[in-house]
Amino acid sequence: MKKVRVGILGCNYMGKMHADCYGRMENVQVVAVCDINEATAEAAAAPFGAKVYTDGKALIEECAPDLLDICLPTFLHKEYAAAAMGKVPYIVIEKPVVRTVEEGEALLALQAQTGTQVGVGHVIRFFKEYEYLKQALDEERYGRLVNLTLRRVSPSPAWDWASWRKDSGKSGGAILDLHIHDIDYMLYALGEPLSVHSVKNTLGEANSYVCTACRYGDFTVSVEGTWFLPACYPFNMYYRAVFENAVLEYDKGKLWKYDSEKGEEIILGTAEAASVSFGNVSELGGYLEELAYFVACAEQGAPITRATLADGVRSLRFIIEHCY
Ligand SMILES: NC(=O)c1ccc[n+]([C@@H]2O[C@H](COP(=O)([O-])OP(=O)(O)OC[C@H]3O[C@@H](n4cnc5c(N)ncnc54)[C@H](O)[C@@H]3O)[C@@H](O)[C@H]2O)c1
């Protein structure tokens, strides 16, 4: 079987996690990795015997991987994605896809010229518990939605290279870097709201708290995100969906359904993935599913239709227009 040849740009937090995922896929060979910190690149390359680069454009030119995975700080995404378009058939870009709407539009224009397939790391779409909610919404399995709460809260990330996240001009701060996960899911699951009211508190570094309330006809959605928490505070991704006939609640890695009779846990078979712990993300489940999907597209020569470049730019535009 011919393996999908993968190159990774940026080998710290997310690059390491993606490499860990690729290492679990039989149809992938990580052929090259790049980081301006050579020791970081060498450590990521070692398990694969991959070629080490400190210049991402040299990797693109010399290795021409089937799939290039960009795990660089957000403000560098556009430059390296643009350099790869037309040279690499498949690109994965971590979220947020780029820092500004103008950069997003430039990549969309390049994609139209080159036909390069681009997937964006909007990983929540690939978590089984969030897929379950999406299906329940689509099928009206528990009746109509009444309200939905989405939450992602975390201490300010402390691992980043040269403290790039603390600079909102580079990362977009919590409003972009963190809040976009749930905003993207909301747009994916429910489409555009009729009205939006977003408030933020810039106390602390890089705009640290944001709460976005949306009205959709006969239901409402509220989305909360913050980095303004002490370092010991546990990372939490959470949802509560109140339907006419039941409530679905996802909290601390568990999904519960409550109806008029009882509350019961719903097990979705993520136990294997849940046994893997990495940083403050308690499971690789969604990351494995997401990257396996993009790899499968590259293997089959198929278009990427989930978490596309257009989706990533749409979610970025929503944040920039409504949440700042
Ligand atoms: N999907 C998620 O859940 C999730 C989680 C964390 C981060 N992210 C996203 O992933 C991206 C990377 O974040 P991170 O936390 O891994 O950052 P990081 O700071 O941990 O790692 C960035 C790496 O890029 C390297 N680097 C910097 N400039 C470079 C250059 N010009 N060429 C090559 N290497 C260079 C640094 O040395 C560092 O090793 C960001 O866009 C971030 O928003 C997504």
Q: Are residues 269 and 249 in the same domain?
A: yes
d(CA 106, CA 108): 5
Q: Which residue, among 254, 248, 286, has the nearest Cα to 124 in the 3D structure?
A: 286
> What pLDDT does residue 202 have?
76
Q: Are residues 128 and 88 in the same domain?
A: no
> What pLDDT does residue 281 have?
45
> What pLDDT does residue 208 have?
81
Q: Are residues 153 and 172 in the same domain?
A: yes
Dihedral over Cα of 299, 302, 306, 308: its sign: positive
Please give the distance, rounded to the nearest whole angstrom, from the Cα atom of residue 130 to the centre of ligand 1: 25
Q: Which protein residue has the closest C-alpha to ligand 1 atom 15? A: 13
Q: Which residues of the chain have pLDDT under 50?
A: 272-282
Q: Are residues 145 and 225 in the same domain?
A: yes
Q: Are residues 107 and 130 in the same domain?
A: no
How do residues 155-190 score in pLDDT, each as one tens digit?
A: 998 889 999 998 999 999 999 999 999 999 999 999
> What pLDDT does residue 89 have?
98
Structure-block tokens of residue 76 = 């560098």
Dihedral over Cα of 206, 290, 267, 130: its sign: positive
DSSP state of 166: G
How do residues 240-266 score in pLDDT, each as one tens digit?
A: 999 999 999 999 988 999 999 999 999
Q: Are residues 103 and 77 in the same domain?
A: yes
Say yes or no: CB of residue 36 within 6 Å of ligand 1: yes
Task: Report the half-sphere exposure of 116 (CA within 13 A, side-chain side).
Answer: 28
Please give the distance, rounded to the nearest whole angstrom, from the Cα atom of residue 113 to the centre of ligand 1: 27
How do residues 276-294 score in pLDDT, each as one tens digit?
A: 444 434 457 899 999 999 9
Q: Are residues 268 and 210 in the same domain?
A: yes
Ligand 1 site-directed mutation target among 161, 281, 289, most atoms within 8 Å of CB: 161
User: Alpha helices of the chain — where are they, by DSSP H?
Assistant: 13-22, 38-45, 56-63, 77-84, 101-114, 128-139, 168-171, 173-177, 179-190, 271-274, 285-300, 309-322
d(CA 221, CA 212): 8
Q: Are residues 221 and 315 in the same domain?
A: yes
d(CA 168, CA 74): 11
Here the CATH number for the domain that contains residue 253 is 3.30.360.10
Helix (H, G, I), strand (E, B) or coil at 1: coil
- % of the chain residues with pLDDT over 70: 94
Please give the distance, rounded to the nearest whole angstrom, from the Cα atom of residue 301 to the centre of ligand 1: 27
Q: How far is CA 301 from CA 74, 117, 290, 297, 304, in A?
A: 27, 10, 17, 6, 9
> What pLDDT does residue 276 have?
46
User: What's the domain range around 197?
Assistant: 124-281+306-322
Q: Which protein residue has the closest C-alpha to ligand 1 atom 3? A: 123
> What pLDDT does residue 207 have?
63
Q: Which residue, among 65, 123, 124, 57, has the nearest Cα to 91 in the 3D structure?
A: 65
Say yes or no: CB of residue 121 within 6 Å of ligand 1: yes
d(CA 306, CA 60): 24
Structure-block tokens of residue 322 = 């409504």
> What pLDDT does residue 282 have?
43
